[in-house]
Amino acid sequence: MNEKIQEHEVIKSAVSHTARNYGIDLLRLFAMYLVTVLHVLGQGGILSSAQGSQYMVSWLFEIVAYCAVNCFAIVSGYVSYTEKEKPYRYSRYLSVWLQVVFYSFGINLIYYICKPEVMTTDVLLDSLRPVTTYHYWYFTAYTGVFFMIPWMNKLVRACTQKEMNRFAAILFLLFSCYANYANATKDVFHLSGGYSFLWLAVMYLIGAWMKKCSIPEKVSNTKAIVCLEICVLLTWTIKIFKESSAFVSYVSPTILLVAVCFVVLFSKMQFGSLGKKLIQFFAPAAFGVYLIHVQKTVWSQLMTWRFAYCAQSPVWLLPIQILGNAAFVFILCLLIEKARILLFERFHMNEIVEKAGCWIGRRCIDIFTRKGRKNQ
């Protein structure tokens, strides 16, 4: 009887790890919305202009939203890791690269034609090399992570759950707790405050650990909410009353824990058929929201100090303006990206690019194989 129960639990666990998790898909959208909140507050000029009560409220929203990048990176590990090894298509990178170039070059081309005084030929051509020119820091950092994913997955598979718990603890203590403490004097691990390949790789491994060890199933929603609230209030209190930004960083342990708590909460959400359809329809467009509103020309011409006027609003109105302006940017970019996805699907662009990527990959393998044989 006990053996049957154990077998049932194993099967149930396997199904839950392979079935699509719509809560995690929704978290992608929510995290990207938080990114727009960050940028409305920061680049939009609210944080720099706010004083008094408006300053305190603005920073509360900033700290709640600061976990967004960590959420996005952790979700990558949570979704991509599987106990059973699967073929990994490196050619998919070209589809993502094409998506990035579509916006980095396409938007600059529009400015080059319609508003040439703000767009030079050199800048236009540089936008064809988004990784090399660091056009989008997240994409540049994630490029390294993308090609390391199958090897990081092998590492996680090779560990027992007990070993992974220890490994996750080491990652947290070393790259978050100690690194955040050391940042007061020096960036000892060159994490660049989280704007780096290494930090995104650490976040990927945290996500894979959460998946392998079924962390969301082991942590109750109540505990996750309490932990989230404590971390946010602690970070906000230190920022406001100590006037210290020590914990306002992607590598901050409090910010990381907030991201982990969000993954725990969203991963257990259940939806009806309509909710699933809406999430499935819009979730693939989440990354495009980032690519559009952070595109360098859009960033400088349309986002810079665009929302500074909100800092002069009454305290009761400020939260509505922050969330409302972020929602406007988010929804507009989401719809534009969804239109691009449908356009690419209509002309089978991703399939063409991936086939080209497969051909290039085979040619590279053939070349290296021949060189290897010649050297033997």
- State the 10-residue block means of pLDDT for the chain, 376 residues long: 44 54 98 98 97 97 98 97 90 91 97 94 95 94 96 97 98 97 91 97 98 97 98 98 94 98 98 96 97 97 97 97 98 98 89 78 67 58
Q: Is residue 46 assigned to a domain?
A: yes
- Tell me, what's the pLDDT at 89? 86
Considering the domain boundaries, does residue 19 fall inside one?
no
How far apart are the C-alpha atoms of 368 and 374, rounded to whole Å?
10
Task: Report if residue 49 sits inside a domain.
Answer: yes
For residue 8, being part of any structural domain is answered with no
Cα 247 to Cα 265: distance, rounded to the nearest angstrom: 23
**pLDDT value at residue 119:** 95
331: number of Cβ within 10 Å: 14
Q: How many domains does the chain have?
A: 1
Domain range spanning residue 78? Answer: 25-375
pLDDT in the model for residue 5: 43
DSSP states of 122-173 as a string? Answer: HHHHHTT-TTTTTSSHHHHHHHHHHHHHHHHHHHHHHS-HHHHHHHHHHHII
How much is the pLDDT for 14?
A: 42
Look at residue 11 and tell me if it is in a domain.
Answer: no
Our CA angle for 250, 209, 136, nearest 5°, is 35
Instruction: Judge whether 135 lies within some domain.
Output: yes
Residue 3 maps to a domain:
no
Q: Is 4 part of a structural domain of the chain?
A: no
